[in-house]
Amino acid sequence: MNMFLMQMTNDWGGVFAVVFTGIAVVFAVLILLILSVWLLGKIMGFFTGRALKKTAKAAESVVLSQPQAVASSPADGELPAVISAAIYAYLESAAPGKSFRVCSIRPVGVREGRKTWAQAGIMENTAAF
């Protein structure tokens, strides 16, 4: 047993050869992956660029019409009536038979902090599995 250990400790050349061969193989594969992803990006960019040029030419050929004038502001009671009707239709389907009353209609102020979609993305990406 002692002779086996002595023989293993004296064979550092084989150890270095295995280690350096392993490192060389890993880096060679990484370089091949980088080159293949780069080449794939160039190929997709070529085809996507051609498609973008076609859509740009099509967009240039389309004649845009002038926007029509918007009607004057609605009557004072029209907007609250429409909002109330929409809320009633939604709540009537959610809880039939109950009565509802709209107490006030006012614009929502600017909220501090994150926007709603940003907060939803954070909640989705940090949820437990």
pLDDT for 41? 87
Residue with tokens 């979609």: 117
Domain residue extents for the chain: 13-58, 76-105
Q: What is the pLDDT of residues 65-92, one digit of tens each?
A: 444 444 445 566 787 788 888 888 888 7
Residue with tokens 């060679």: 28
Are 122 and 114 in contact by the 8 Å Cβ rule? The answer is yes
